[in-house]
Each structure stands twice: as structure tokens, then as C-alpha cells.
């Protein structure tokens, strides 16, 4: 039986060529529609919802392309643009937070709080995915920009602290995650000294990951829900944070063969490291500004 070129290069079996093209076309249309909406949105609250949507749409288009088998070399430069959208969402959200502080002075003055809320599964997972991809692409600039947005989240979540440990001077060891299941399992990998035991924990995490995403409002089980127009909110199911963990700890992943594990991206990261290459090194000046200023 012959295999189509698309099926030969796709990274997950659920994505079929027509669904890929239809979904991508739909995502781009949604993005363009929200670009128009942001120009007419009257409230700061509406603006922050729109800017979060714009960030996530470009991120999910990237993920869809990754799942479809696009070369990593072509995908890598696009992460910086997604982080631009991440920063823009955060900046607009700061304006909203400032308005709320003025409207409700009894709750105290405005204090900086990065837009993603780690207590919300979708915010937490989406943010970990973006951060982990930047780590695996050795995109130092993007990693530092993400950390800058999330500086208010420091000292709260163990997995976040471990993922950024190599990029900060004041790393903190925390033994729990804000969302315990399944993330505490992956956090334990960083503290396991025996590599075989660490790999057992990693495999456990990969098995736990997709069932734990059942409350993700956007994409869980969407490969089963194809619209009449032939598209779905399925962009690929990827535990990128597991890949970042393997890369950072230099674990032997030769026996890992799980649908949600991005093995070729980990291999790409290792090749970059071996060659002493980075996607970027310097942090953009915009990332050094206080959002909202």
C-alpha cells in the first residue's frame, strides 16, 4: 500500500491532509476576524480577551504545522513572532488590571501580575508548551522574554522553576506544582538521581498527560469532532514540557515511543547543542520594558 507524501511526513496519525488544510484556513480566518475586532473593542476587558485569542491562534497554527510535518528549521524562526503576541496580550492585560484596581480600590493598588493564570489548566499548559518549545529550539531570546512576562509567577510553581533554572540566577526548588495532576509527576523527574527511575516517571507522565487534559476547553478530543466543513480544533497533542525535561536532564529517550512525545524536536535541540548553535541569544529591548509603560 502506498503512502501519500503528507501521511509520510505528518507527526501524528490523526491529522489528514484535507483536515489540515481546512483547519489552517479556518484558523487564519479566525485570526483575521479578531484583528478587525481589536480595532472596535471598547473595553480593556474585551481587548485582553481578543489579544489572548490572537496569541493562541498563531501558536496553534504553529503547532498544527508541526503536527503536519513541517521542517523544524522552517518552524523555528516563527516562535519569536508568537512570543510577540504573548507579550502584546500581557501588555493589554496590564491595562485591564490597572483599570480594575482603580475601579475597586478596596482590593488594593495595582501590582504587576503576568496575564497567564497558572491555576487555569489551559493557561498553564499553553504557557508551558510555548516555553518548552523555545527551550528545545534554543531560542534564548524568546525564553527570556517569556520569563520576563512571568516574573510575577516566580516562587510559586515547581515545574516552572525547573524549566527556567538555567536562565535565571535565583532558581528555586519547589516540590509541588500549582496544578498537581499530572505535573507533579514530571516535576519528580528533576529530583530523581537514578536515570532509569527518572525515565519510569517520564513514561508515567506521558501516559497521564492526555487524560489530564480533558478539561482543556479548546482542543481535547477534537480529532473526534470534525465539522461539516471538514476542519477541527485539533492541532496536535504534544507534551512539549516532557521533551524539554529530557533535553535539560540529558536523559536517554531511545526507548520512548509515545504519541505525545516530540522526539524529533528533542533530537533537534541536541543537535543544536552539539553544534553550539542557538536560534537566538539576545533579548529584544521591548522585553526589558515594564508592560503597560
Q: Domain of 64? A: 15-288
The pLDDT score that the predictor gives to residue 185 is 98
Asked if the structure places residue 4 within a domain, the reply is: no
Asked if the structure places residue 293 within a domain, the reply is: no
Asked if the structure places residue 68 within a domain, the reply is: yes
Tens of each residue's pLDDT in the chain, 293 residues: 558 999 999 999 999 999 999 999 999 999 999 888 877 777 889 999 999 999 999 999 999 999 999 999 999 999 999 999 999 999 999 999 999 999 999 999 999 999 999 999 999 999 999 999 999 999 999 999 999 999 999 999 999 999 999 999 988 999 999 999 999 999 999 999 999 999 999 999 999 999 999 987 678 888 888 888 888 889 999 999 999 999 999 999 999 999 999 999 999 999 999 999 998 876 544 444 333 32
Asked if the structure places residue 1 within a domain, the reply is: no
Asked if the structure places residue 152 within a domain, the reply is: yes
Answer positive or negative: Cα dihedral of 157, 163, 165, 170.
negative
Q: Spell out the residues 6+ positions from residue 289 whose beta carbon is closer than 8 angstroms to its own.
A: none
How many domains is the chain partitioned into structurally? 1
Euclidean distance between CA atoms 171 and 165, whole angstroms = 5
CA dist 1 → 4, 6, 10, 11 (Å): 10, 15, 17, 19
DSSP state of 66: H
Nearest alpha carbon to residue 290 among 91, 5, 109: 91
Euclidean distance between CA atoms 197 and 175, whole angstroms = 17
Asked if the structure places residue 96 within a domain, the reply is: yes
The pLDDT score that the predictor gives to residue 2 is 57
The pLDDT score that the predictor gives to residue 88 is 97
Asked if the structure places residue 9 within a domain, the reply is: no
Asked if the structure places residue 59 within a domain, the reply is: yes
Amino acid at each position: 500500500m502506498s503512502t501519500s507524501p503528507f501521511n509520510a511526513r505528518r507527526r501524528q496519525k490523526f491529522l489528514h491532509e484535507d483536515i489540515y488544510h481546512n483547519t489552517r484556513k479556518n484558523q487564519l480566518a479566525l485570526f483575521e476576524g479578531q484583528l478587525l475586532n481589536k480595532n472596535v473593542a471598547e473595553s480593556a476587558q474585551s481587548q485582553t480577551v481578543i489579544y489572548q485569542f490572537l496569541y493562541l491562534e498563531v501558536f496553534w497554527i504553529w503547532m498544527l504545522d508541526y503536527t503536519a510535518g513541517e521542517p523544524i528549521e522552517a518552524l523555528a524562526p516563527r516562535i519569536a513572532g508568537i512570543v510577540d503576541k504573548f507579550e502584546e496580550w500581557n501588555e493589554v492585560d496590564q491595562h485591564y488590571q490597572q483599570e480594575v484596581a482603580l475601579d475597586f480600590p478596596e482590593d488594593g493598588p495595582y501590582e504587576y501580575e503576568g496575564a497567564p493564570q497558572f491555576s487555569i489548566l489551559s493557561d498553564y499548559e499553553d504557557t508551558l508548551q510555548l516555553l518548552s518549545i523555545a527551550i528545545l529550539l534554543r531560542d534564548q531570546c524568546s525564553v527570556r522574554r517569556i520569563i520576563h512576562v512571568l516574573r510575577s509567577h516566580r516562587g510559586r510553581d515547581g515545574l516552572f522553576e525547573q524549566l527556567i533554572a538555567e536562565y535565571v540566577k535565583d532558581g528555586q526548588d519547589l516540590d509541588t506544582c500549582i496544578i498537581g495532576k499530572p505535573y507533579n509527576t514530571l516535576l519528580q523527574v528533576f529530583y530523581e538521581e537514578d536515570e532509569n527511575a527518572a525515565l519510569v516517571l517520564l513514561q508515567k507522565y506521558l501516559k497521564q498527560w492526555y487524560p489530564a487534559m480533558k478539561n482543556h476547553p479548546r482542543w481535547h478530543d477534537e480529532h473526534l469532532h470534525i465539522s461539516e466543513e471538514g476542519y477541527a480544533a485539533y492541532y496536535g497533542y504534544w507534551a512539549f514540557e516532557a521533551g524539554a525535561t529530557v533535553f535539560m536532564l540529558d536523559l536517554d529517550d531511545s526507548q520512548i515511543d509515545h504519541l505525545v512525545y516530540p522526539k524529533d524536536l528533542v533530537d533537534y535541540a541536541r543537535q543544536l547543542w552539539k553544534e553550539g548553535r542557538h536560534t537566538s541569544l539576545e533579548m529584544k529591548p521591548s522585553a526589558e520594558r515594564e508592560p503597560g509603560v
